[in-house]
Structure 1
């Protein structure tokens, strides 16, 4: 890395949202998941700042969704599963009083995208996985401010998202990228040497590749600092999530991959850092709690008082930093590779990983088999067929191929193990 890097271009996707009087109207996508439930907690504690107008979920937890809708008095509820509508309607009827009108119900695979384009100020996309791409594009096209927790939609559809996003329209909700934004605000872009993205190291920090051979699903889901859904937790165990965040940082801030570093920080207090050309480093730190980044996403440019716990500086603590073990955790370097390739390569990487994580959670693939299979799928995909001319159809076709190929390789692994 050069000692005096060229000045960075102003990021295409960093903030300048328009503020208004009264509560800010918000739509929450993925409301029954980890991000969604924490966002609702924040909203309920700040009714003068936020008003939720719509909620979306997959449809597997209609009781919780109905309870959320009633407590927030939303206009619209959306579910991806059309077969969940009868149960949802029944659950809503049980929450609302006799004669009280129920919220509008949207259903089907396009319901979240339809809700994302509805009349509101901010859309919080807390959906997990690349199925969040369509709602991301819909929110941007409709001119909504997008609080983006669904990193996969930016990663698999990078050029598509950047082509639609106006300056200030996307606010990243990942703790790492919310941290980078806050640290970037302290200096000029020409003074930035590199971004430093922190990783907790997950439950297997310090283990060698050989020691990871026989870890169980229960082991992988036992994250030491964060409480997250199973897919994100496994991605933290493989450090795939950190690879995705490197690609996300590149896309959000237009910074070359060789100027984005990953460092392991087990305490998860420092969420990311900016190193400046004079040798100083600025770190953004809070106790591990996603309500802080969510508050940045929903409330910026204003800060929400007491959104999350602060440090108790009267209590002694130790903060540690370690280099990343790329042999045991090859996912970050593979992510850099697909990020540089661009086109459909990130979509292939992400889709193959989603299939392999699902197989691991079902007991159909060993832990090390996740990255071994993803690597093979990426290699077979080769050079992307499209670059800057990427289309939604290209992304969907690449994802379909990657999922099918990952399933084939997973089945071959299971057969080989059964014969061994």
Structure 2
């Protein structure tokens, strides 16, 4: 296969995303079908299984071509693209390769003189795959190496290291998310500065300009209404999903986010500090403005909010999408990324308080079956529906009154003045 220098990663990632879609979308769909119909005795699932395998294999065609082109685009020989045979794991290796080409832009541009600088130097699929898949896999690999090393020492040295291994095994999984967030944050800030971004222009540190333009009481009210909507709407969705995926709901209502105090502290710190800062910088600061520049402000808000919801990998996509839209509107309204960061942090603080309460009360609560869950939910369905409807109406009115116009200046460039 001849590799042509296009000076654009768009072509390679179009092929890569196409290949991943062929491989994993049917696979996930098949998994959901099996989970919903465990007692399905029809021969159709067997036919469907072979179809899934066929699409997975077919996905290698665009994936390998894209990986080889991407390897070449990064300044390496195209043969390194054969890592794509390992599918998403091999792609992670390629993403972690350091960039060799310095005169490279993701779109045709004029470099630093472009009106779209520095967003023109950013390729969103590469950016997302690197920080959502490749980098966490790297951190996970380091964790596994640490555990294996301690495990080997425990076999060689004796009981002291066995105790150390057991202690490490209990602590490291609880710290994984926090450590991953920490390293992603460090590398992310370094990366965006390399691309030419000025962090101050995102409005993270512009506290002085907030007072005259922000009604904090209204914003806090919207955050609480957003939580009220999520509480009511997600409860209704969870109740109805329990009839389709009973095991999933049963596991979710009995599963704790953390199992010890270290996990509690780690999870709380990640949820209240790291997650709001990094997710807002990525989703609102970078992706929203990149896509608003490309497709328009309205489309940018919708698509970035949808991505924000999907990336959480949870069933509450609707409430997350609305939350993402609110945070996007607040960013455009104020021009300061610190506002959605603080709102996101406040929302997560509310969630964390309930999680901590659930953790300390879990020892006194027996296992809750899905049938018991349905019985306890049925008298509350009407109340939850009313709460969701009222909060949704107020949120929609807020968004209608404050939604940015199509010709508004992006916050990053507004802060450049």
TM-score by length of 2: 0.28
Name which one, 1 or 2, has greater alpha-carbon Rg. 2
Higher helix share: 2
